[in-house]
Structure 1
Amino acid sequence: MCGPDPWSQIIGRLSAHWHETASAVHQASGRRKRRSRTVVAHAALRVPTIRSIEWQTDTTLLVSWSDATRGSYLDQTWRAGYARVRGICALSGMSVKRGDVVFRPFHRGAAPPSNALDMILASVLTRYSERQLVLP
């Protein structure tokens, strides 16, 4: 078996997600802007499950994504871009700042997908050298 132990990966992701969320809530509670608290609260409630990520090009991914309340997408195209607003990385739970390089669901037409505002930090994806990432 080559690569990290799956159990260690799970514990690491859960720990990192909890610490990032707690830090974001703590930072938001110290500010007077109501919008900041709302963004963090909604992001903490919607925890999607990402099953696999496959690189298509240097700027596009195929993501298998699901959420208990917003549905699921199998092999959804996500494109690289810059974060327009603050948020939470759907893969790592890390906070996303405006201007960070992220991947977002690509869509055309009037009706965006239910996960249109979700983001994955590009810096998180560069940690993985494989062309296809299958998650537990």
Structure 2
Amino acid sequence: MLVSRIDPWSQTIRLLSSGFRRANVDAGTQLVPERATSCGFEATPDTSHLPHLKVSLIERTTSLTVTIAWRDSTSCFYGAQVWRVANAKVSGTCVLSGQRIRRGNRIFHPQRSKPSPVNARAMILESALNALEPLQISPI
């Protein structure tokens, strides 16, 4: 008898994730992101290991802060989370674009709070947000 090595819960989450389709039902088949947007500036991460994550820019509140909707079916939901601009302290991956982040790059990260948010280590490149909605500087 063959025993499946795939975690049933992970497989269920992958199959139910919206915005993804399966070309074949093989266990080795990769999920392929579809590039459709619904409302606002919704984006599906390019990293195939996060098919359950949806990140949306709600608004640019100031030049240093943005409000983000974070929907992760496996861990948390934040409907209106404030993110602040900073220089990346560690390398990582942009959850919005999938681009590599290097230490020192300008990024947005969730505002610190007590207790820390589940997505406290997440980062979005400032350039990825600017590509969605450029910062509007109003004349004085």
TM-score where L is the length of structure 2: 0.59
Secondary structure of 2:77's counterpart equals strand
* Match status 1:106 vs 2:111: yes
The one of the two structures with greater contact order (alpha-carbon pairs below 8 A, sep at least 6) is: 1
- Which residue of structure 2 lines up, in the alignment, with residue 115 of structure 1? 119
Secondary structure of 1:62's counterpart equals strand
- Which residue of structure 2 lines up, in the alignment, with residue 58 of structure 1? 63
| Structure 1 unaligned residues grouped into runs of 5+ | 1-8, 22-43, 132-136
Structure number with the higher helix fraction is 1
Cα RMSD for the two superposed structures: 2.5
**Rg larger for:** 2
Q: What is the number of residues matched between the two proteins?
A: 95
Identity of aligned residues (%): 33
- Which residue of structure 1 lines up, in the alignment, with residue 85 of structure 2? 80
Q: Quick one: structure 1 residues 128 and 107, their matched pair in 2 at CA, closer, same or farther if it must change by over 3 Å?
A: same
Partners of 1:70 and 1:130 in 2: CA distance: 30
| Partner AA of 2:118 in structure 1 | S
- Which residue of structure 1 lines up, in the alignment, with residue 27 of structure 2? none
Secondary structure of 1:124's counterpart equals helix
In the TM superposition, what is the alpha-carbon distance from 1:129 to its structure 2 partner? 3.6
| Structure 2 unaligned residues grouped into runs of 5+ | 1-33, 37-42, 136-140
Partners of 1:114 and 1:91 in 2: CA distance: 17
In the TM superposition, what is the alpha-carbon distance from 1:130 to its structure 2 partner? 6.0
- Which residue of structure 1 lines up, in the alignment, with residue 15 of structure 2? none
